[in-house]
Amino acid sequence: MTDTNNSPLEGNVLFYTNPEPLDQSIHGGLGVNPTDKPYAFVAQTNVVPLTVTEFSAAALSYPIIFTGENRQPVAVMGLRANENLFVADDGEFRADAYVPAYVRRYPFVFADDKQNQRLILCIDRGASIVAEGGQNPLFVDGQPSDYTNMAMEFCNNFEQERLRTEGFMTLINELDLLDIREAHFTPRNPDGTPGQPQKLAEYYAVSEDKLRALPAEKLVELRDNGALGQIYAHLVSLVGWDRLIALAVMRQAQAPTSVN
pLDDT of residue 240: 95
* Residue 113 phi, psi dihedral angles, 5° rounding: -95, 85
**Which residues of the chain fall short of a pLDDT of 70?**
1-12, 255-260
Domains of the chain by residue range: 19-249
**CA gyration radius, the chain:** 21
pLDDT of residue 6: 33
pLDDT of residue 117: 76
pLDDT of residue 224: 94
Asked whether the beta carbons of 57 and 98 are under 8 A apart, the reply is yes
- State which H helix or E strand residue 23 sits in: none
- State which H helix or E strand residue 188 sits in: none
pLDDT of residue 249: 86
pLDDT of residue 102: 96
pLDDT tens-digit map of 54-82: 999 999 999 999 999 889 999 999 998 88
